[in-house]
Amino acid sequence: MNVDVLLGLQWGDEGKGKIVDVLTPQYDVVARFQGGPNAGHTIEFENKKFVLHTIPSGIFNPDAINLIGNGVIIDPLILRREMTKLLDSGTQVGANLYISRKAHLILPTHRLLDAAYEHAKGAQKIGSTLKGIGPTYTDKISRNGLRVGDIASVNFRKRYDELKSRHLQIVEMIDFDFSDHLIDGLPFDVYEQQWMEALNGLAKLQLVDGEYFIHKMARSGKRILAEGAQGSLLDIDFGSYPFVTSSNTTIAGVCSGLGISPQMISRVIGIFKAYCTRVGSGPFPTELFDETGALLRSKGNEFGSTTGRARRCGWLDLPALQYAIMLNGVTELVMMKADVMDELEHIKVATGYRHKGELIDYLPFEACLEALEPVYDILPGWQHSIQTGNGIQEVPAAFESYIQYIEAKVETPVTIVSTGPDRSQTWYRKA
Ligand code: GDP
Ligand code: IMO
Ligand code: MG
């Protein structure tokens, strides 16, 4: 029972990085279990700001061990850039970072394929981060992928070349001309060359059999926090398919992505924004296209941590939140970014949808495909700043009512409230 899980309950960017960093002093090990550099986890403290893509958010606590689990997919070049940035800022990253040999590699041609598939979809595109996520997980499932542990094998280069040429055949078949296509601003050949150099660097890091590693930690009494990426509504099975990512972002991903059993999991900490955002395409029932949506975006600084794209903003969606709580067995909630709504006179919360002439309070299959018409409760805003350092001393009554309203609706306690991006702007509500 040594493993607690923290995962996102909406469409990602809930603030997972901040809260993992805040909670890390309570743990010995922080482990990422799925996703890849499509993630962008922001951590702010002492006037410094970091965005992590592959490295777990426990890295800023020098006593914590960080594990990149087998369920994660790794782009060696993105990892190298991330490590360089951390090292340049004086953050210790080396002895405290372990990587599962079973984690799959994102090849430069996976990123080409991602771009080619999106290009072919035209207006129907997913809005992928173009980090090669879908194609890499596709190769994993179709048993063609290359793993971190393979780098050491004598035939690695041969397997790499075979996979690359298969990818290039597909790119050609889709008729995607990549001669002018840049990956992170670099022509393909340059990216590939830097990728190869980074691959050599990756091979020198602490590679482990992650499943044995984590069990050894658990047996010796170490406390482990599993850090989710993306959010439950982007889950490959339960999200708004096909507008999803390519991994299980929900609780099952913890077991398959680290090699642990469900019995080892204790707390399931679900994190949500006090409103909703989504980046990329796909249904978003409570999306706002008016000035309130624009206010949430500008005050909440709702621009993608990985791609810089403007995030779509809307009201809190309770049936969707309840769905995510159900899927994950959430034991407690963390509410983020309510400070962004400080000045609003009224706050809407969706409690159901009108669907085929009926009022429903669940997400029907059609929610993946078509717009649902939300039905709202309207609550009074608190119109008071809740954004203070070191927790909030005085809780406006309307704010407390907003939290209690949500707790009652989803029958789950809100134990932590975040009132600003900084580590210190965190309020522990209940023990
Ligand atoms: P993650 O992917 O779940 O880690 O979230 P992101 O880092 O992509 O996005 C969350 C954004 O909100 C980041 O810019 C954070 O610095 C910021 N943030 C986190 N918590 C709060 C909060 O309580 N209030 C405000 N205003 N910003 C927050
Ligand atoms: P974190 O961990 C928000 C979205 C993309 C796109 C869809 C598929 O920071 O919360 P992909 O690149 O996975 O093929 O994109 O999923 N997406 C995210 N949105 N936060 C993320 O991660 C995301 N990772 C992927 O925008 O709509
Ligand atoms: Mg993010």
Separation of CA 129 and ligand 2 centre (Å): 6
Q: Does residue 230 line the site of ligand 2, with CB under 6 A?
A: yes
Q: Which of 4, 13, 114, 339 is catalytic?
A: 13
Separation of CA 366 and ligand 1 centre (Å): 30
Q: Which ligand 1 atom minimizes the distance to the CA of 49?
A: 16
Handedness of CA 9, 320, 430, 340 (dihedral sign): positive
Rg of the chain on CA atoms, in Å: 21
Separation of CA 302 and ligand 2 centre (Å): 14
Q: Which residues line ligand 1 (CB under 6 A)?
A: 8, 12-18, 40-42, 44, 300-301, 305, 336-337, 339-340, 418-421
3-state secondary structure 312-357: EEECEEHHHHHHHHHHHCCCEEEEECHHHHCCCCEEEEEEEEEECC
Q: Which two tokens stand for residue 103?
A: 């984690």
Helix or strand run (H / E) with residue 277:
strand 276-278
Q: Does residue 392 line the site of ligand 2, with CB under 6 A?
A: no
Per-residue pLDDT, 357: 87
Block residue for tokens 């075979």: 162
Q: Does residue 8 line the site of ligand 2, with CB under 6 A?
A: yes
Annotation marks residue 41 as catalytic: yes
Per-residue pLDDT, 371: 77
pTM exceeding the 0.85 threshold for the entire prediction: yes
Per-residue pLDDT, 393: 64
Q: Which residues surround ligand 3, an ion (CB under 5 A)?
A: 13, 40, 305
Report the C-alpha gap between 375 and 236 in whole angstroms.
Answer: 27
Of 9, 11, 13, the residue with max ligand 1 atoms within 8 A of its CB, to mutate for a pocket test, comes to 13
Q: Which two tokens stand for residue 99?
A: 């990587």
Q: Which ligand 1 atom minimizes the distance to the CA of 20?
A: 4
Helix or strand run (H / E) with residue 224:
strand 224-227
Strand-pairing partners, residue 314, are: 276, 287
Report the C-alpha gap between 47 and 49 in whole angstroms.
Answer: 7
Q: Which of 4, 21, 28, 41 is catalytic?
A: 41
Greatest alpha-carbon span in the chain: 66
Report the C-alpha gap between 300 and 314 in whole angstroms.
Answer: 12
Q: Does residue 229 line the site of ligand 2, with CB under 6 A?
A: yes
Question: Residues near 220 by Cβ (< 8 Å), separated by ≥ 6?
Answer: none
Q: Which of 51, 52, 164 is nearest to 105 (CA)?
A: 164
Separation of CA 301 and ligand 2 centre (Å): 17
Separation of CA 375 and ligand 3 centre (Å): 28
Residue with CA at minimum distance from ligand 1 atom 27: 421
Neighbours of 166 (CB within 10 A): 14
Report the C-alpha gap between 109 and 103 in whole angstroms.
Answer: 17
Q: Which two tokens stand for residue 334?
A: 């963390």
Query: Helix (H, G, I), strand (E, B), or coil: what is residue 175?
Result: coil
Per-residue pLDDT of the chain (431 residues; tens, 9 = 90+): 699 999 999 999 999 999 999 999 999 999 999 999 999 999 999 999 999 999 999 999 999 999 999 999 999 999 999 999 999 999 999 999 999 999 999 999 999 999 999 999 999 999 999 999 999 999 999 999 999 999 999 999 999 999 999 999 999 999 888 888 999 999 999 999 999 999 999 999 999 999 999 999 999 999 999 999 999 999 999 999 999 999 999 999 999 999 999 999 999 999 999 999 999 999 999 999 999 999 999 999 999 877 888 999 999 999 999 999 999 999 999 999 999 999 999 999 999 999 988 999 999 998 777 778 999 999 999 999 887 655 566 788 999 999 999 999 999 999 999 999 999 999 998 76
Of 11, 18, 422, the residue with max ligand 1 atoms within 8 A of its CB, to mutate for a pocket test, comes to 18
Question: Residues near 407 by Cβ (< 8 Å), separated by ≥ 6?
Answer: 333, 413, 414
Per-residue pLDDT, 431: 61
Q: Which ligand 1 atom minimizes the distance to the CA of 305?
A: 8
Residue 302, Cβ density class (10 Å: 0-12 exposed, 13-18 middle, ≥19 buried): buried
In contact, 127 and 282? CB cutoff 8 Å: yes
Separation of CA 130 and ligand 3 centre (Å): 15
Per-residue pLDDT, 113: 97
Annotation marks residue 346 as catalytic: no
